[in-house]
Amino acid sequence: MTTRTAEQATAGLGAAGPPPGAARRAAATAWLQTYGVYAGVAVLLIFNTAFTDHFLSAENFRTQAVQVAPILIVALGMALAIGTEGIDLSVGSVMALSTSLIALYLGYGPWLALLVAIVGGIAVGVLNGSLVAFIGVQPIVATLALMVGAKGLALVLLPQLRDVRDEGMRSLGSGDLLGVPYPALIALALVLVVGFTVRRTTFGRQLLAIGDSRPAAELAGLPVRRVLICVYVCSGVLAATAGFLATARLGASDPTALGNLMELSAITAVVVGGTSLAGGRVRIAGTVAGAVLIQLLTATLIKHDLPPSWTQMAQAAVIVLAVYAARERGKR
Amino acid sequence: MNALNSVFSRGSSGTTVADPTSGRSGEGLPGPDRPRGVDRPKARRNEQLSAFAQRHGALVALVLTVAVASLTFETFATGANLENVALSSAFLAIVALGMTFVIISGGIDLSVGSVFALGGVLAAWGSQHGFLVALLLPLLVCGGFGLINGLLIARTRLAPFIVTLASMLGARGLMLNITDEGNETYLVAEGSFIGELGRGSLLGIALPIWITVGLFAVGGLALRRSRFGQHVYAVGGNEDAASLMGAPVVRTKITVYVLSGLLAGLAGALNAGWLTSGITILGQGMELEAISAVVIGGTLLTGGLGFVSGSLVGVLLLKVIQNIINQIGSLEAAYQQVVSGVFLIVVVVVQTWLARRRRVM
What is the helix (H) or strand (E) element at residue A180, kind and residue range? strand A180-181
- The rounded distance, in Å, linking the Cα atoms of A120 and A128 is 12
Q: What is the CATH number of the domain that holds A327?
A: 1.10.3470
Domain-embedded: residue A288: yes
Query: A189 with A130: CB under 8 angstroms?
Result: no
Nearest CA in chain B to A3: B240
- The rounded distance, in Å, linking the Cα atoms of B298 and B310 is 6
Contacts of B196 (CB under 8 A, 6+ apart): B207, B273
Q: Considering only CB atoms, which chain B residues are within 8 Å of A144? A: 287-288, 291, 344
Domain-embedded: residue B11: no
Per-residue model confidence as pLDDT tens digits over A114-124? 899 999 999 99
pLDDT at B17: 34
Domain-embedded: residue A213: yes
Query: B54 with B65: CB under 8 angstroms?
Result: no
Q: What is the CATH number of the domain that holds B102?
A: 1.10.3470
Burial of A102 (0-12, 13-18, 19+ CB in 10 A): buried
Partner-chain contact B165 A267, CB within 8 Å: yes
Domain enclosing residue A298, as ranges: 17-331
CB pairs under 8 A between A and B: 149
Per-residue model confidence as pLDDT tens digits over B98-112? 999 999 998 889 899
Q: Considering only CB atoms, which chain B residues are within 8 Å of A132? A: none
Burial of B4 (0-12, 13-18, 19+ CB in 10 A): middle
Domain-embedded: residue A223: yes
Domain-embedded: residue B2: no
Nearest to A316 among B170, B338, B348 (CB): B170
- The rounded distance, in Å, linking the Cα atoms of A125 and A89 is 11
SS3 A252: strand
- Percent pLDDT > 70 in chain A is 92
Q: Is 0.95 exceeded by the ipTM?
A: no
Partner-chain contact B337 A261, CB within 8 Å: no
Residues A177, A242, B172, B315, Cα dihedral to 10°: -170
- The rounded distance, in Å, linking the Cα atoms of A39 and A47 is 12
Domain-embedded: residue A81: yes
Domain-embedded: residue A311: yes
Q: Nearest C-alpha of chain A: how many angstroms from B176?
A: 6
Q: Considering only CB atoms, which chain A residues are within 8 Å of B156? A: 324, 327
Helices B112-126 and B131-150, axial angle in degrees (round to 10): 160
Query: B81 with B75: CB under 8 angstroms?
Result: yes
- pLDDT beyond 50 at A30: yes
Domain-embedded: residue A284: yes
Q: What angle do CA B152, B235, A263 make, to 5 degrees?
A: 45
SS3 A96: helix
Provide the residue type at B329 as one letter. G
Domain-embedded: residue B243: yes
The count of domains in chain A is 1
CA distances A2 to A5, A140, B240, B256, B305, Å, are: 5, 21, 8, 23, 20
Per-residue model confidence as pLDDT tens digits over B288-332? 888 888 888 888 777 778 888 888 988 998 888 878 877 776 556
Partner-chain contact B3 A6, CB within 8 Å: no
Domain-embedded: residue A8: no
Query: B116 with B95: CB under 8 angstroms?
Result: yes
Domain-embedded: residue B20: no
Burial of A290 (0-12, 13-18, 19+ CB in 10 A): buried
CA distances A203 to A218, A234, B3, Å, are: 15, 12, 21
Partner-chain contact B332 A159, CB within 8 Å: yes
Contacts of A327 (CB under 8 A, 6+ apart): B156, B157, B158
Q: Where does the pLDDT of residue B83 fall: very low under 50, low under 70, confident under 90, or very high at 90 and above?
A: confident
Nearest CA in chain B to A313: B170
DSSP B213-243: HHHHHHHHHHHHHSHHHHHHHHHHH-HHHHH
- pLDDT beyond 80 at A326: no
Which DSSP symbol is given to A279?
A: S
- Percent pLDDT > 90 in chain B is 14
Domain enclosing residue B256, as ranges: 52-360
Burial of B262 (0-12, 13-18, 19+ CB in 10 A): buried
pLDDT at A19: 62
pLDDT at A192: 94
The count of domains in chain B is 1
- Percent pLDDT > 70 in chain B is 84
Domain-embedded: residue A208: yes
Q: Which of A332, A249, A291, A270 is nearest to A22 (CA)?
A: A332
- The rounded distance, in Å, linking the Cα atoms of A73 and A121 is 13
Domain-embedded: residue B120: yes
Max Cα–Cα distance, chain A, nearest Å: 68
Average pLDDT over residues A281-300: 88
Domain-embedded: residue B253: yes
Nearest CA in chain A to B238: A2
Partner-chain contact B345 A145, CB within 8 Å: yes
